[in-house]
């Protein structure tokens, strides 16, 4: 009897997606994948010699959900949450199945997703983590005002976040500012850094530096963390619009978690070649 043919993991299909310019390479791990070493992830992330992304997302099977998602940052480090990638993949799976609601799992837990129509996809990112040990921070402290210049707010959304409220978000040199605070000793797992300007009781202008990536055009978990921080400070209500460099997300902090909604884009399908994959091995 002839041997069963093995999947060719040296011609690796991928999808390129983005949510408001926050861009992703998505691999379908429900079929065979090569070992995703840190070197390979970083090579795919290279915008000159690879494909380029803010995060790499892998779709895997789940026993108790429609799919399980695993995320990696551009430097190869793993992340428990990526809100915009979750929405992009949810849209892809809903288009495949014709369904308007799904449940996905991530390191963050079980995340319900919904098609709101008109190309808008919503995800419940779960309740925020507000206690210092859950974010996590290095020691016990008030998470509503950290002992850091500017008194930022610490929030966990599966990722650690550090939100600075400023008078003018455009005036902050984010490349230098974000790099400085990503590695602050209060954050043992590093942190995403947001600079947020309150425009009104239901609107915020926000810019973001993502750990392991740098400045990005948008960030879903950062938008959720900023909305929670603003509401906790009494600067806004619990439902608002977040204006990012790449567009606008709607965030609603409800009893069942923080819902985030916005558009997605499936840009292209492609194949990573054997030559590229072997060049990294």
Identify the pLDDT of residue 31: 82
For residue 272, pLDDT over 50 is answered with yes
The kind and range of the H/E element at 44 are helix 38-45
Question: What average pLDDT does range 182-198 have in this prediction?
Answer: 98
Distance CA 263, CA 19 (A): 6
Which residues pair with residue 101 across a beta bridge? Answer: 114
Least confident range of 6-20, 81-95, 110-124, 161-175: 6-20
For residue 72, pLDDT over 80 is answered with yes
Identify the pLDDT of residue 35: 86
- Share above pLDDT 90 across residues of the chain, in percent, rounded to a whole number: 93
Identify the pLDDT of residue 10: 63
Of 276, 243, 234, the C-alpha closest to 262 is 243
Of 63, 62, 60, the C-alpha closest to 72 is 60
Distance CA 111, CA 121 (A): 13
Q: How confident is the model at residue 6 (pLDDT cuts 50, 70, 90)?
A: very low
- Mean pLDDT value across the chain: 95
For residue 3, pLDDT over 50 is answered with no
Helix (H, G, I), strand (E, B) or coil at 196: strand
What separation, in Å, do the N-terminal and C-terminal C-alpha atoms of the chain show?
A: 33
Identify the pLDDT of residue 116: 98
Identify the pLDDT of residue 239: 98
Distance CA 117, CA 122 (A): 10
Of 246, 261, 255, the C-alpha closest to 206 is 246
Place of tokens 């599966």: 158
For residue 61, pLDDT over 60 is answered with yes
Q: Where in the chain is the domain with CATH 3.10.310.10?
A: 12-124+264-280, 153-255
Tokens of 188: 């043992």
For residue 8, pLDDT over 70 is answered with no
Q: Under CATH, to which class is 12-124+264-280 assigned?
A: alpha beta
For residue 5, pLDDT over 90 is answered with no
Domain at 153-255: CATH architecture: Roll (3.10)
Distances (CA, A) of 146 to 34, 62, 137: 42, 38, 10
Distance CA 89, CA 57 (A): 9
For residue 281, pLDDT over 90 is answered with no
Question: What average pLDDT does range 168-182 have in this prediction?
Answer: 97
Distance CA 280, CA 108 (A): 30
Place of tokens 């992304």: 53
HSE-up of 64 (CA within 13 Å, CB side)?
5
User: How do residues 12-56 score in pLDDT, each as one tens digit?
Assistant: 999 999 999 999 999 999 988 888 999 999 999 999 999 999 999
């Amino acid at each position: 009897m002839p041997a069963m043919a093995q999947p060719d993991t040296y011609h690796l299909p991928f999808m390129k997606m983005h949510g408001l310019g926050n861009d992703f390479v998505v691999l379908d791990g429900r079929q065979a994948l090569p070992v995703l070493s840190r070197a390979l992830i970083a090579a795919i992330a290279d915008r000159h010699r690879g494909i380029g992304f803010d995060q790499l997302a892998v779709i895997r099977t789940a026993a108790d959900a429609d799919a399980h998602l695993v995320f990696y940052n551009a430097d190869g480090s793993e992340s428990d949450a990526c809100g915009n990638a979750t929405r992009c993949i949810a849209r892809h799976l809903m288009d495949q199945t014709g369904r308007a609601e799904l449940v996905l799992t991530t390191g963050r837990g079980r995340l319900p997703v919904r098609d709101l129509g008109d190309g808008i996809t919503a995800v419940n990112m779960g309740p925020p983590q507000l206690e210092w040990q859950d974010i996590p921070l290095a020691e016990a402290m008030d998470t509503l005002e950290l002992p850091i210049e500017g008194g930022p707010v610490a929030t966990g959304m599966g990722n650690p976040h550090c939100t600075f409220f400023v008078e003018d978000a455009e005036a902050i040199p984010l490349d230098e500012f974000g790099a400085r605070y990503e590695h602050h000793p209060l954050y043992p797992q590093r942190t995403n850094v947001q600079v947020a300007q309150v425009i009104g009781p239901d609107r915020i202008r926000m810019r973001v530096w993502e750990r392991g990536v740098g400045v990005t055009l948008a960030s879903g978990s950062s938008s959720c963390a900023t909305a929670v921080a603003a509401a906790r400070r009494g600067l806004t209500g619990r439902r608002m619009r977040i204006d990012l460099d790449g567009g606008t997300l709607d965030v609603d902090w409800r009893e069942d978690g923080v819902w985030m909604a916005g558009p997605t884009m499936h840009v292209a399908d492609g194949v990573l070649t054997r030559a590229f994959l072997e060049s990294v091995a």
